[in-house]
Amino acid sequence: MKIFWMVMGMALLPAVYRQDAYAQKLANPFFAFDNGTGRDQKVPLAEQAELVKRTGYAGIGYTGALKVPEMLHELESRGLKMFSIYVAVRVEADKPAYDAALPEAIRQLKGHGTVIWLTVQGTAPDGEQRAVERVREVADLAAASGLRVVLYPHMGFFVGRIEEALRLRKLVDRPNVGITFNLTHFLAVKDEPNLDQRLREAMPYLEMVSINGAEHEGGWDRLILPLDRGAFDVFGFLKKLVAAGYKGPIGLQCYLVPGDTEENLKRSMIAWRKFQERL
């Protein structure tokens, strides 16, 4: 009887509230970084793709600009997606702007919807100007293939904080450039008290998110854990994302997580599905 009246009560709510209630779902594509699928152990691409398929992820965030067609084949033949390639530009005058293989990789990715997940590294007196120029170069290459560039803040890099990614995105002024909310590096720069503000600022340009279990502070061994571990409230973070309307991909950061690769992926997938049930 109680359930009947709860259902009837929902039916009597104004439509906008009913839609909001049903809309709060964690339906984002969930993929695994290849640092959690065996990349660093040089596991063959086919085995990495099979592992991701077996453990329930939607695909992989790939690293680098080499063997892109091979990885695309292994993923797509299993109904999976290459969500991103993780690459860099550098701001030093005496170093290459980016990997020489990147332009060809971008051409190979045409039609696959893969994001160019871009860190900005290095130091230079005119670093900001050079960063703008080099991100524009990559953005223009990506635009020719119908792809998007998403800036990836990484603690200790030239773009190390989400507010720095926002500033650079504005200066670059290309319509196919967005930003990432990278939970690990957000915690690493000790900005947790400003979480709500940073999310508000990021949302209009937010195209990728990475998560993992984490403590509130410490080194990578504390800031990158399986999704079911750590004191940081990942579920609360995801609730904020969903409430703000974020529908883009979410990747699982796995860098240097100890233990069995498949067991770690399974644990994190179980945690993800529990988050989905709770929402």
Q: What is the dihedral of CA 191, 193, 197, 201, to 10 degrees?
A: 10
In a domain, 13, yes or no: no
Q: How many domains does the chain have?
A: 1
In a domain, 59, yes or no: yes
For residue 272, give its domain range.
28-278
For the stretch 43-49, contacts whose Cβ atoms lie closer than 8 Å and that sit 24 or more positions apart, written own/partner, are 43/261, 45/70, 45/71, 45/74, 46/74, 48/74, 49/74, 49/75, 49/77, 49/78, 49/80
In a domain, 23, yes or no: no
In a domain, 60, yes or no: yes
0.95 cut: is pTM over it? Answer: no
- Tokens 């892109």 -> residue: 68
In a domain, 131, yes or no: yes
In a domain, 35, yes or no: yes
> What is the residue-level pLDDT of the chain in tens, covering all 279 positions?
444 334 334 333 333 333 344 457 999 999 999 999 999 889 999 999 999 999 999 999 999 999 999 999 999 999 999 999 999 999 999 999 999 999 999 999 999 999 999 999 999 999 999 999 999 999 999 999 999 999 999 999 999 999 999 999 999 999 999 999 999 999 999 999 999 999 999 999 999 999 999 999 999 999 999 999 999 999 999 999 999 999 999 999 999 999 999 999 999 999 999 999 998
CATH number at residue 144: 3.20.20.150
Distance CA 133, CA 131 (A): 5
